[in-house]
Amino acid sequence: SEAGGRPEENGHRDKRLKRAVGEEDAEEQNKKTPKRKIVLLMAYSGKGYHGMQRNVGSSQFKTIEDDLVSALVQSGCIPENHGEDMKKMSFQRCARTDKGVSAAGQIVSLKVRLIDDILEKINNHLPSHIRILGLKRVTGGFNSKNKCDARTYSYMLPTLAFAHKDQDVQEDAYRLDRETLERVNRLLGCYKGTHNFHNFTSQKGPRDPSAKRYIMEMSCGEPFLRGSLEFAVIRVKGQSFMMHQIRKMIGLVIAIVKGYAAESILQRSWGEEKVDVPKAPGLGLVLERVHFEKYNRRFGNDGLHQPLEWAEEEEKIAAFKEQHIYPTIIHTEREEKSMVNWLNTLSIHDFNSSAVGVQADDKHSK
């Protein structure tokens, strides 16, 4: 019909006009679009990546941020040169996850152009195992690392990790009993409060004030089956964590429960003495969420900014974990047996060495 034809004609003309304007003025338009400070809520499966943090100039080790920055540039949120120098967009990650570690609630802060359909456009340029699940505007001086009050991690592991070393267990047949779970939780509870965790990272000396860390909560949940293999999830909330700290905290509890180390090693490990603390595999570790209580109290209800809470995104977070994080952990554990292989190395650790012995070893190695 004639009535139906006119808009079509106009549509064609409009498209031609838009294309011409777009080609000439796209760059000019981008320069005029003001940048705004935002936070992005990220979820990713860390398998195959060398951690979160980008190493500009090192393409050999791929990181989560490599893929994120590429998507930000391709979607038009940031100019290309900002990808080379991340300071130009005031980029800051909340937590620097290690190699192979996943996240369900990572937060990054940065300045971007707030283009239309921004989340959809960024996600279109990301692989399916990395998703941006939410975006919020924040204050101009916001820094996701400095403003974060606490971080919550989970660690998913097969419960056979808690079977005593003298117990002959079949992987698929092992089930965690109530008594052992209670003991695990009693030991994990010992970490609560402030302790000197210099033995739980390779980067700090016993008198380094920054080795003192505050743990708010730590416990192991009820076991559950995935196929024929039984798993459990340990959750830990702390102000901040050092490199490998959580994996070593869990590794030491496993060593105690399995009968390789005495319970007294926990107290020893917080003293100045050097203690041999085993590091559990990175596979099961997931950054669950980051907390901004102080920021929310000050700016969350000021009428200009939204509180950094993600209740509306909870369903998407849960769906991502079920689709990308848990299956990867379970499949990799079955295929590569990272926990089982690591458990076999516990016997070579020296859990009884004295401070004197370690000092002598140190001098010898120097």
Please, which contacts does 163-167 make with residues 24 or more away whose CB atoms are closer than 8 Å? Answer: 163/258, 164/257, 164/258, 164/259, 165/258, 165/259, 165/260, 165/346, 165/347, 166/259
What's the rounded Cα separation, in Å, for the pair 255 and 338? 16
Catalytic annotation, pick one of 98, 117, 166, 361: 98
* Contact (Cβ atoms closer than 8 angstroms) between residue 55 and residue 64: no
Residue in 184, 186, 218, 364 with CA at minimum distance from that of residue 288: 218
Q: Which amino acid makes up residue 260?
A: Y
Is 362 tagged catalytic? no
What's the rounded Cα separation, in Å, for the pair 107 and 141? 16
Phi and psi based region of residue 276 (left: phi greater than 0; alpha: psi -120 to 50; beta: remaining):
beta
What's the rounded Cα separation, in Å, for the pair 267 and 141? 41
Q: Is 191 annotated as a binding residue?
A: no
Contacts of 55 (CB under 8 A, 6+ apart): 61, 63
The partner residues of 236 in beta bridges, in order of sequence, read: 153, 218
- What are the catalytic residues? 98
Q: Binding-site residues, please? A: 153
Q: Binding-site residues for substrate, please? A: 153
